[in-house]
Copies of this chain bind each other. A is one copy, B any other.
Amino acid sequence: MSLDRDDVRNVVAEVRLGNPRALGRLISWIENASPALPTIMQELAPDTGRAHVIGLTGAPGVGKSTTATSLVRTLRARGERVGVLAVDPSSPFSGGALLGDRIRMQEHALDRDVYIRSMATRGHLGGLAVATPQALRAFDAARFDTVIVETVGVGQSEIEVAQTADTTLVLLAPGMGDGIQAAKAGILEIGDIFVVNKSDRDGAQALVRELRTMIALAQRGPRDWKPPIVLTVAHEHRGIADLLEAVDRFRTSQMETGRADARRVARARREVESIALAKLRAEFRLNGEAGLDGLAELVSRGELDPYAAADRVVVGR
């Protein structure tokens, strides 16, 4: 299906009115890397820059979806419109694998002011680093006050996704592997707030102590925000009010220091850079396709080193 500017305008107009089906179509276009993305983003731009984005990351099994559901409940009680974007970098079942999360969220299934969506990004040029901010722009245009981005795991891609958030929550749980393993994944650097979920289990206090030490060790130089550790039992909705209070305190602090804007500019910069690099990459693939496999074969046999090969590719582009 080829989209023209009028198709895009019609859907964006419906999105602005809060039509969930239109928002669903828009995010599908983003997910499937529609060739109309430049037009779509141009049409969306004037309606963006408002929603508060909360990133939610942590290893499988720590309770991210349950925590997201619980956050949605409290934010709804405040009267906010809330979106949830579950980001899945490489699922072979694009969407299907996240059915479980959707089911867990069915508490909010009939609420027009809640929109829950999973997104896979196989084949999206620029990957998650580009698709996530695009989807957030769609939620933003649909006038959601808060959008929770839930990422799967804590690899490099998830860290990139977390960096697109205004406020990043890092979830841990007792008995899921020790704090040293948490540190390995680089999450200490990205967490604005740490959440020890399942805090009614054995080992919660030990995890908090270890985490506190590691946060202190990981801090480099003076910081105007010391990441707090909040204890929750999300499936019983315990600690969620404390968590949102910490989020509010963080936002206030970020606004006061001007860091909130700086972070949004950095986010936009990464997005622009990713798109620019994807363009360069596409150009390079188009021009270098035939020669590249030949060069790679020489490199794989040790007859050429990869830097010399890359030089040939870049100069020959």
Interchain CB contact under 8 A, B184 and A41: no
Interchain CB contact under 8 A, B133 and A306: yes
A236 in the interface, Cβ–Cβ < 8 Å?
A: no
CA distance A45 to B41 in the complex (A): 45
Of the listed stretches A11-19, A70-78, A245-253, A273-281, name the one at the interface; the rest are far from the partner chain. Answer: A273-281
Q: Is the interface of A mostly helix, strand, loop or mixed?
A: helix
Specify which chain B residues have a CB less than 8 angstroms from the CB of A314 in the assembled complex. Answer: 276, 279-280
Interchain CB contact under 8 A, B293 and A265: yes
Among candidates B59, B97, B268, residue contacting A299 with C-beta atoms closer than 8 Å: B268
Interchain CB contact under 8 A, B277 and A281: yes
Q: With A59-B59, A97-B180, A268-B296 given, is the CB distance from A49 to B301 under 8 Å? A: yes
Among candidates B37, B218, B295, residue contacting A92 with C-beta atoms closer than 8 Å: B218
Nearest chain B residue, comparing its CB with the CB of A126: B310
Q: With A156-B89, A189-B90, A305-B45 given, is the CB distance from A279 to B310 under 8 Å? A: yes
Q: How many residues of A contact B (CB 8 A)?
A: 84
Specify which chain B residues have a CB less than 8 angstroms from the CB of A90 in the assembled complex. Answer: 156, 159, 185-186, 189
CA distance A133 to B38 in the complex (A): 36
Specify which chain B residues have a CB less than 8 angstroms from the CB of A300 in the assembled complex. Answer: 49, 261, 264-265, 267-268
Interchain CB contact under 8 A, B91 and A183: yes
Nearest chain B residue, comparing its CB with the CB of A316: B276
Specify which chain B residues have a CB less than 8 angstroms from the CB of A272 in the assembled complex. Answer: 292, 295-296, 299, 306, 309-310, 313
Residue contacts A-B, CB under 8 angstroms, 6 given: A61-B176, A154-B155, A266-B296, A269-B299, A275-B309, A277-B281
